[in-house]
Structure 1
């Protein structure tokens, strides 16, 4: 009972993760922070919906519709849709028009609804139209590079392509890594040092803000349902 997730990686440079889930017997969950934006398709009470979900800067309680099915395409950091500034969607979402089980409207054109196995085909076609672009500066910085730009210019690139500052992304990603390690049974002291927290109190504050649960709760026998967490 709850949310049953299935997820996979992708060989597309535009996509970070693809997931699908089904709800049963659960009315709320904790939506954990994420630096990525996601395109989501779902069926609720027989009605089909499509939306773009922006980055989430902190954990929050979220309603879960009964007996609903979901498909999510989580895009890689630095991937953006020029016609829909991602900064406007931080901690929010935009529902896509004319959505049906067969098609939906995106940037003025009708597109077939992808499924779990053929998302990359949709992404390739959409990118060829210019609907998706990747910011080279963001890619370089995330890969450990140092572009010949001022700190202010790098920050502008991140805000334009992700809606978040580099520092905010680091904090969110660090908390998510810590939560995955804790769930895997790694000792708290090791998580604290390996992931880069000053001390246990620093880790605890970060988990509460970005994950919505303490280390003890994450390790509990019946932890509260969380949105998608996975080892990168």
Structure 2
């Protein structure tokens, strides 16, 4: 019962992760908070669907179509489609109309459906056609750089390009990292120290808000409801 999930990294600066999954005997999952948005394709009963799923500010329960196959492209921080304002997509999604088994419409043009192995070529075309852009300030900061702009400018660009404040992005990504460490058997006190939480209750609140699990559930894999894609951003 659950979701069979596979994911991989990408050498494209516009892509954070490419993933695919298949559902079986499950109708709900816990969707983990994420600072990134995803372009998602899924097929169910010979019907193909395409949607943009926005950033998620906290963990939530999400329905799962039965016996469906999914492909997702998770974009890097600061990558956007300017014609779809990201602030309107936080904790939401936009489903595309007129999707066929071979193509879908995006910004007035027909696009072939990508697959797990050619997502980079699909994204390169999006960039060439100016459908997809990446903000250089957000990209630099998320990569550890220090662009020569004021902190106020950085904060403003984060909200504009991600729909979230810079602080919210940090908290979400720290909680995801903490969840991975706990799942891998790292003791909770070490996770607290390594990631800079104040104490164990602080970590517990963060995991509950952003991952929807306690440390015990993550460590013991004790919860029956599957999680969405979890990887270190």
TM range (shorter): over 0.9
Aligned to 2:141: 141
For residues 7-39 of structure 1, the C-alpha deviation after alignment (integer angstroms, 9 at most, x for no partner) is 101111100000000000111110000000000
Aligned to 2:119: 119
Aligned to 2:69: 69
Aligned to 2:179: 179
Residues 173 and 232 in structure 2, CA contact (< 8 A), matched pair in contact too: no
Q: Provide the C-alpha distance between the structure 2 equivalents of 1:134 and 1:101, rounded to a whole number of angstroms.
A: 29
Shift of residue 152 of structure 1? 2.0
Shift of residue 156 of structure 1? 1.4
User: Which deviates more, 174-183 or 77-86?
Assistant: 77-86
Q: Provide the C-alpha distance between the structure 2 equivalents of 1:201 and 1:221, rounded to a whole number of angstroms.
A: 20
Q: Provide the C-alpha distance between the structure 1 equivalents of 2:129 and 2:58, rounded to a whole number of angstroms.
A: 33
Aligned to 1:78: 78
Aligned-residue RMSD, C-alpha: 1.1
- TM-score under structure 1 normalisation? 0.97
Aligned to 1:227: 228
Q: Provide the C-alpha distance between the structure 2 equivalents of 1:13 and 1:196, rounded to a whole number of angstroms.
A: 28
Runs of at least 4 residues off by over 4 Å: none
Structure 1: gaps of 5 or more residues: none
SS at match of 1:117: coil
For residues 69-127 of structure 1, the C-alpha deviation after alignment (integer angstroms, 9 at most, x for no partner) is 10000000011111111111000000112111200111111000000011111100110
Aligned to 2:162: 162
Aligned to 2:195: 195
